[in-house]
Copies of this chain bind each other. A is one copy, B any other.
Amino acid sequence: MTETPSGGDLSQLRRLNSLMVIRELRSAPTLTLTELSRRTGLSRASTEDVVRELLENGWLAEVPAASGMVGRPARRFRFRADAGRVLGVDIGGHKILALVADLEGTVLHSARVAVAPAMRRMERLAALDGAVAEALAGAGLTTADLWATGVATTGLVDGAGRVMLSEALPEWTGVDVGAHLRRLVGGPALVENDSKLAALAESWCGAARYAKDVVVILAGLRTGAGLIIDGKLHRGFGNAAGEIGALPASGWIRAQEHLRAWPPQDGPAPGRAGAGRGADPHADKAADKAADQEAAAEAVFEAARAGDRKAAAVVRRYVRDVAVGAAALVLTLDPELVVVGGGFSRSADLIAEPLRRELDRWCIRTPEVRISEFGDEGVALGALRLALDYVDRELRERRELGDPEHFSRRV
């Protein structure tokens, strides 16, 4: 890129130079003027001009020099991760989780609202609004502070953010999640399937961050899968990749049934507390059922951990069935790594070893199996990453930068 204005459009040139400096500082923690000048190809004087302006309008900050250094150290600059905020939301069958983060992805506040699979769509959308409002309020922000929102939802999602099909939540099929969120936050909102975003999170900053080909299994009250191929999220031609669970032979439908059959009919039923918490009897029953299912799943893992042989057999059958679908994914792709995420990843002590053994039984080359460190927050982290990818794309592709306060409003 040239620094000599031809045609006199100096302001246009300055905008482009500003974007170059911003891009370099998005990919490095801190840089000196000399480093910025070398990386952008701008002269020292132009670099100084651009950096001064970016400091003034709040895009950059100067990093304080370390004390005790001999001589005057070169000034260092960083991109201001707090210049903007992003929101990541996971709309699940059993919970809605909203995270507010800065532009580096550091989470500032999170809000969690329990929902039930049988909830009607308006109720679920109202719960979503509540979670978003709580997350923003907790971080001391309004929707105007958000540069972008990433949304994870169960089900298949089209390019505009509408749920094309949700097997798990029939009421959710056809909901235009993207449009709802855009009205709610007043800015760009990107929607993607939850298992795909769980994979994105693992690839970004989780157990898969150094691997190129990865299968991420989302193990919870449903089982899902997301694929990283050649370092990128694989969406598929119709955004329907990873849906192996739809095939009965994968065992994933049956896997959940084992858990639902717990506790045995002669045992005590857990999780019956909390009935009558709302005005709508449908919602109440649904919420109860969801609480029951979560509690039942928790209970079977706990009982197995405590040495209950029936519970151990249920967990064994669950893992055995999940392993068949996982083996189908592994045999198809031959990934370097399988990551197990989702709510059940907290019971890694009961799941990991049996899963490794079962995979070893079916696979030609058994990949390494790792447990996610994100518990049931991986999907929401992936939604954050989706929002951050949008911001990075904007910073890369825009022809104007403006000042941070008006950046998101121009989208």
Contacts and interface: CB of A to CB of B under 8 A. Distances in A.
Interface of A: 156, 165, 212-213, 225, 227, 229-230, 234-244, 246-247, 249-251, 324, 327-329, 331-336, 362-365, 367
A156 B332 contact: no
7 contacts: A237-B334, A243-B331, A243-B364, A246-B363, A247-B327, A249-B324, A328-B328
Given A227-B332, A332-B227, A332-B329, A365 B238 contact: yes
Contact of A236 (B234, B235, B334): B334
Nearest to A225: B332
B332 A240 contact: no
Nearest to A327: B247
Contacts of A165: 364
A398 to B, nearest CB: 27
A331 B237 contact: no
B362 A243 contact: no
A242 B156 CA distance: 24
A165 B328 CA distance: 19
Nearest to A336: B237
Given A156-B364, A364-B156, A364-B165, A241 B332 contact: yes
A342 B5 CA distance: 62
Contacts of A213: 236-237
Contacts of A156: 364
Nearest to A362: B247
A333 B250 contact: no
B362 A246 contact: yes
A255 B241 CA distance: 25
Given A244-B328, A329-B332, 5 more contacts: A237-B334, A239-B334, A241-B333, A247-B324, A249-B251
A367 B334 contact: no
Given A246-B331, A331-B247, A240 B336 contact: no
A251 B289 CA distance: 36
B364 A240 contact: yes
Contacts of A334: 235-243
Nearest to A333: B241
Given A229-B229, A234-B229, A364 B332 contact: no
A135 to B, nearest CB: 32
Residue with the highest number of chain B CB atoms closer than 10 Å, among A242, A333, A363:
A333
A327 B244 CA distance: 8
Residue with the highest number of chain B CB atoms closer than 10 Å, among A234, A327, A331, A367:
A331
Given A229-B229, A240-B364, A250 B336 contact: no
B333 A236 contact: yes
A365 B242 contact: no
Contacts of A251: 249
Residue with the highest number of chain B CB atoms closer than 10 Å, among A212, A225, A237, A363:
A237
Contacts of A332: 225, 227, 241-244, 328-329, 332-333
A25 B164 CA distance: 47
A154 to B, nearest CB: 14
A305 B239 CA distance: 38
A364 B245 CA distance: 10
